[in-house]
């Protein structure tokens, strides 16, 4: 592992030293999501070296030299994770590649899945590719644990209820008795596995073979390649009208479904007490203390409780 010889400092101090704002103001801007580091919203306490692409309120702060654009197509093996947090004990994709230049993955591919993932040092394209509202295609080859039926294909195409939402309509084609191809334009957490599970199927293997115009092709497992100039040009054309606003978990927390059936009406409240209404209940007799100084066994008066059926799903 190479030793990092560059001195790090807290991001708020870096912004303050750059004359952008005070440290306190920097903290406020970071909390509001107005500071991006390599295209990703910064977090409180984050440290930087100044070699990153730092944007504050839409203004580029860092003055690093323009670096060579890098975009790699990687064939991720199973067992490798795409997150880089310390809590992940498995080897992550950055450690696995050990690329000589600082790069990071565009999106994720879960630990049990394999196939194409893009890695780059260009923060401006990350959100453009990931943002669900941009409707960029991702294609997968999937094997399940039992024969695929026409009903299964139709349900997958039309939308499946998962994570309190219904998935968007998508392209699904049968490729074998147990295999199918699916093209998604959204990226809910473990979406394909959850869709299959909701229809009583289990995913045996899942491989991503395409992201937009970038194909996995015959790239061997664990290998990577740089995208070609032609692929870069086509990708930039496809991203021209795409928003690069941060995702802010828009796909992790989709809109909730309306309940299937309306809840039963609440019972009408009792009428207010009126002096004109006679009290027909007899006075409750007072219970004297026993001679031994103990109360006799208490009599518990219970009023029958009306029960109401719970609405669907509860």
Q: Which CATH number characterizes residue 145's domain?
A: 3.30.70.1560
What percent of the chain shows pLDDT beyond 70?
71
Per-residue pLDDT, averaged over 202-212, amounts to: 98
Higher pLDDT pick, 271 / 116:
116
Q: Is residue 119 part of a domain?
A: yes
Examine the domain organization and report whether 75 and 53 are in the same domain. Answer: no
What's residue 240's pLDDT? 87
The two beta strands, 114-120 and 203-211, are parallel
Residue 90 has pLDDT above 70, yes or no: yes
Q: Is residue 22 part of a domain?
A: yes
Of 115-129, 160-174, 265-279, the one with minimum mean pLDDT is 265-279
The two beta strands, 71-76 and 114-120, are antiparallel
**What secondary structure letter does DSSP report for 146?**
S
Examine the domain organization and report whether 124 and 20 are in the same domain. Answer: no
Q: Is residue 264 part of a domain?
A: no
Examine the domain organization and report whether 154 and 205 are in the same domain. Answer: yes
Distance CA 119, CA 95 (A): 13
Given pLDDT bands bounded at 50, 70 and 90, which one contains residue 272? low
Q: Is 110 a catalytic residue?
A: yes
Domains of the chain: total = 3
Q: Count how many residues are written for the chain.
A: 314
Examine the domain organization and report whether 159 and 40 are in the same domain. Answer: no
Q: Is residue 251 part of a domain?
A: no
CATH number at residue 82: 3.30.70.580
- Asked if 163 contacts 194 with a C-beta cutoff of 8 angstroms, the reply is yes
Examine the domain organization and report whether 158 and 194 are in the same domain. Answer: yes
The whole domain housing 86 covers: 67-129+214-246
Per-residue pLDDT, averaged over 52-65, amounts to: 76
Given pLDDT bands bounded at 50, 70 and 90, which one contains residue 303? very low
The sign of the torsion formed by the CA atoms of 22, 26, 32, 35 equals: positive
Examine the domain organization and report whether 145 and 174 are in the same domain. Answer: yes
Per-residue pLDDT, averaged over 210-215, amounts to: 97
Higher pLDDT pick, 125 / 300:
125
Cβ-in-10-Å burial (0-12, 13-18, 19+) of 77 comes to middle
Q: Identify each DSSP E strand in 25-147 by its residue range.
A: 35-37, 40-41, 47-48, 54-56, 59-60, 71-76, 104-105, 114-120, 138-144
Examine the domain organization and report whether 157 and 124 are in the same domain. Answer: no
Q: Is residue 255 part of a domain?
A: no
- CA distance to 159, 188, 192, 243, 311, per residue, from 255 (Å): 14, 12, 18, 20, 20
Given pLDDT bands bounded at 50, 70 and 90, which one contains residue 288? low
Given pLDDT bands bounded at 50, 70 and 90, which one contains residue 250? very low
Per-residue pLDDT, averaged over 152-157, amounts to: 98
Catalytic residue (one of 38, 86, 88, 110): 110
What's residue 174's pLDDT? 98
Distance CA 141, CA 129 (A): 20
- Asked if 46 contacts 8 with a C-beta cutoff of 8 angstroms, the reply is no
Higher pLDDT pick, 250 / 132:
132
Distance CA 237, CA 146 (A): 41
Distance CA 188, CA 255 (A): 12
Per-residue pLDDT, averaged over 204-233, amounts to: 96
What's residue 283's pLDDT? 56
Q: Is residue 289 part of a domain?
A: no
Examine the domain organization and report whether 124 and 221 are in the same domain. Answer: yes
Containing 231, the helix (H) or strand (E) segment is helix 229-239
Average model confidence (pLDDT) for the chain?
79
Residue 304 has pLDDT above 50, yes or no: no
Residue 73 has pLDDT above 90, yes or no: yes
Q: Is residue 50 part of a domain?
A: yes
* Of the residues 60, 84, 102, the one at which a domain ends: 60
Residue 253 has pLDDT above 70, yes or no: no
Examine the domain organization and report whether 122 and 227 are in the same domain. Answer: yes
Examine the domain organization and report whether 41 and 172 are in the same domain. Answer: no
Examine the domain organization and report whether 52 and 104 are in the same domain. Answer: no
Residue 82 has pLDDT above 70, yes or no: yes
- Residues 6+ positions from 269 with CB-CB distance below 8 Å: none
Q: Is residue 26 part of a domain?
A: yes
3-state secondary structure of 122: coil
Distance CA 61, CA 51 (A): 11
Examine the domain organization and report whether 158 and 224 are in the same domain. Answer: no
CATH number at residue 37: 3.10.290.10
């Amino acid at each position: 592992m190479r030793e990092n010889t560059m001195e790090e400092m807290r991001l708020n101090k870096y912004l303050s030293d750059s004359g952008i704002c005070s440290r306190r103001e920097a903290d406020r801007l970071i909390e509001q999501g107005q500071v991006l580091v390599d295209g990703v919203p910064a977090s409180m306490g984050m440290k930087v070296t100044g070699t990153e692409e730092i944007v504050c309120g839409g203004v580029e702060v860092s003055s690093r030299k323009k670096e060579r654009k890098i975009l790699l197509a990687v064939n991720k093996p199973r067992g490798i994770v795409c997150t880089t947090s310390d809590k992940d004990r498995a080897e992550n994709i950055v450690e696995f590649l050990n690329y000589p230049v600082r790069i990071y993955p565009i999106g994720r591919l879960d630990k049990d899945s394999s196939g194409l993932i893009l890695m780059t040092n260009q923060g401006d394209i990350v959100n453009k590719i990931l943002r669900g509202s941009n409707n960029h295609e991702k294609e997968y080859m999937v094997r399940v644990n039992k024969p695929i039926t026409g009903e299964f294909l139709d349900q997958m195409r039309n939308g499946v209820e998962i994570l309190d939402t219904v998935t968007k309509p998508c392209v699904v084609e049968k490729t074998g008795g147990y295999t199918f191809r699916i093209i998604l334009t959204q990226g809910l957490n473990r979406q394909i596995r959850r869709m299959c599970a909701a229809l009583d199927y289990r995913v045996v293997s899942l491989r991503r073979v395409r992201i937009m115009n970038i194909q996995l092709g015959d790239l061997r497992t664990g290998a990577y390649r740089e995208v070609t100039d032609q692929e870069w040009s086509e990708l930039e054309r496809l991203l021209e009208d795409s928003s690069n606003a941060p995702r802010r978990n828009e796909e992790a927390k989709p809109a909730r479904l309306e309940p299937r059936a309306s809840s039963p009406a609440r019972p009408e409240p009792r009428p207010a007490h009126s002096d004109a209404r006679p009290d027909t209940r007899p006075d409750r007799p007072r219970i004297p203390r026993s001679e031994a100084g103990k109360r006799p066994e208490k009599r518990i008066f219970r009023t029958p409780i009306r029960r109401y059926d719970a609405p669907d799903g509860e």
